[in-house]
Amino acid sequence: MEGVIDALTRDLLTREAGFDWTVTEFVRVIDARLPPRVFYKHCPELLQSLKQSPVATPSGVPVHLQLLGSDPLTLAANARQARELGALSIDMNFGCPAKLVNRHDGGAALLRDPERVFDAVRAVADALDGDIPVTAKIRLGFSNRLQAVACAQAAQAGGASQLVVHGRTRDEGYRPPAHWEWIGRIRQHIKIPVVANGDIWTLEDYWKARTLSGCDDVMLGRAALADPWLAPRIRHWQATGQRLPETTWRMRAETLCTYADLQCQKLPEKVVTSLVKQWLAQMRQGNAEANAHFQHLKRITRLDDLLQALASSEVSERKPHKALIQTPDITTHV
């Protein structure tokens, strides 16, 4: 989830019990071994390993580092670099559908040829020699699902110990529905654990995704930003069989205000204003009230004015907009 899941976001999303582990934005690997500063930028939690502390969010949720690339040798070199810096595991991104990434032979572009998936995973697994796990995330293919199973088998054969499957092809982007039943087909053809991903916005979606895929676990992407309390609600339901109340606008607004306070410690106000509105845009998915607030707040340019408006309940009295917009993907495991 490039540009939307930095260390501060991971911190906020894991303060309430719900997530088992989180994944960084991808580290883009092209043709060279990257310097440590690049890894620290994407995963500042690695600095904790210098103090012999776990690579985790402040609440103790492990953070796994993700690589995106296509050249096996360069991926291997950067996987070794990440291990030396203290990475807990290496997650390999074969799921990114972004046109720019795919044009540069990254992400879902490799799903056109299962052999390339195998070569990339095998190179990283061999480079790490079992010291830390290698996992992977794929989609159901590039243009169609004909090689979905083959790509999953290639990742397993290459040495992946777990596979996250987003239930759409690259060409389907984020258009609903996610095909959870196809994740189940993949699960039946490989032996490593499979995690279901895609369109899990509610408790009901969570149950349907598990039922149709047969997976024990799910990964939350865009939904974790849209509703920061979805993972805790799932965890509470798992533990008690009871539903927690739905997330209120006040809860969302408080999260955004806390996020702004934390970002202001290191970024200019103009940048923070943009980041807060970006997260608020993610919250529109499936929530008319959040969408109404976004429409009211999106043209505010001063951070103080934005935070003051967030704290106001004025918009909640208005008739909500009905048009809700799909927004791009993060990935966090429940």
Q: Residues with catalytic annotation?
A: 96
What are 306's two structure tokens? 């934005």
Which residue has 């995106």 as its token pair?
A: 68
Q: How far apart are CA 275 and CA 295, in angstroms?
A: 16
User: Is 228 within 8 Å of 252 (Cβ atoms)?
Assistant: yes
User: Is 243 within 8 Å of 267 (Cβ atoms)?
Assistant: no
What are 303's two structure tokens? 């951070």
From first CA to last CA, the distance across the chain in angstroms is 17
Which of 22, 61, 279, 63 lies closest to 164 in space, CA to CA?
22
Distances (CA, A) of 310 to 71, 253, 290: 45, 6, 10
User: Is 126 within 8 Å of 134 (Cβ atoms)?
Assistant: no
DSSP-assigned states of every residue in 249-314: HHHHHHHHHHHHHHHTTTS-HHHHHHHHHHHHHHHTTT-HHHHHHHHHHTT---HHHHHHHHH--G
What are 133's two structure tokens? 């796990």
